Chains A and B, each alone.
Chain A
Amino acid sequence: GNSVTQMEGPVTLSEEAFLTINCTYTATGYPSLFWYVQYPGEGLQLLLKATKADDKGSNKGFEATYRKETTSFHLEKGSVQVSDSAVYFCALSPSSNTGKLIFGQGTTLQVKP
């Protein structure tokens, strides 16, 4: 079946530190991969996406590369800010194109000044 596994949080970093949040997936076929961010009290916002192997999604300084050989889509940012504090969700959309997203459990990031 299809599933997504994220590293457990919370992740606590100092401002300007390097961020990695690991995400691996299990899927049949060729899924699309996404990172969503949820700020306190708000809904999810799409952060970045990649639709095929070796694609790199990027937005607001965040990057993730679709690695089919390792079935991974790790999120990285070179220098985090306090405003990046949020919950980050990795998700996949199966290639069967049913429309539904399958989410990881979420990783809480806390950035301290």
Chain B
Amino acid sequence: NAGVMQNPRHLVRRRGQEARLRCSPMKGHSHVYWYRQLPEEGLKFMVYLQKENIIDESGMPKERFSAEFPKEGPSILRIQQVVRGDSAAYFCASSGDQGTHEQYFGPGTRLTVT
């Protein structure tokens, strides 16, 4: 049973470009969470999605960031017009039942903005 998959593992973008990060949840999971880990900091919640719905986006920056989890395919975190401050590790997690609070994490995508 494959775990949570994220790609790419490493992504380099120049300032002003777009970054698209993908997350495939564990088989049978319908809840997806995105977290950001800045250098020397803990993980910060960004957004929580179920299939085709955004449930909680209280941690998302107001501009340039968006997320989706379509009926078919992976969840996508999209960052438009990246800036150097967006350089971080972005982790995706999934769960099968929100009530258990048990989330399984992917290996992360390390975004570097040059």
Partner-B contacts on A (CB < 8 A) = 4, 32, 34, 36, 41-46, 49, 51, 89, 93, 97-106
Contacts and interface: CB of A to CB of B under 8 A. Distances in A.
Given A34-B101, A49-B101, A100-B56, 20 more contacts: A43-B6, A43-B105, A43-B107, A44-B91, A46-B102, A46-B104, A89-B42, A93-B101, A98-B55, A99-B101, A100-B48, A100-B59, A101-B93, A101-B103, A102-B45, A103-B42, A104-B42, A105-B41, A105-B42, A106-B42
Contact of A89 (B43, B45, B48, B98): B43
B42 A43 contact: no
A106 B35 CA distance: 14
Nearest to B104: A46
Closest 6 CB pairs of A and B: A43-B105, A93-B101, A100-B45, A105-B42, A44-B105, A103-B42
Given A42-B107, A44-B91, A46-B102, A99 B42 contact: no
Contacts of A44: 43, 91, 93, 105
Interface residues of B, number: 28
A78 B35 CA distance: 32
A45 B43 CA distance: 13
B49 to A, nearest CB: 10
A86 to B, nearest CB: 14
A43 B106 contact: yes
Nearest to B3: A43
19 contacts: A32-B101, A34-B101, A36-B105, A42-B107, A43-B4, A43-B6, A44-B91, A44-B105, A45-B105, A89-B42, A93-B101, A99-B31, A99-B55, A100-B33, A100-B45, A101-B33, A103-B43, A105-B41, A105-B42
Q: Which of A51, A93, A100, A105 has the most CB of B within 10 A?
A: A100
Contacts of A43: 4, 6, 91, 105-108
Contacts of A100: 33, 45, 48, 56, 58-59
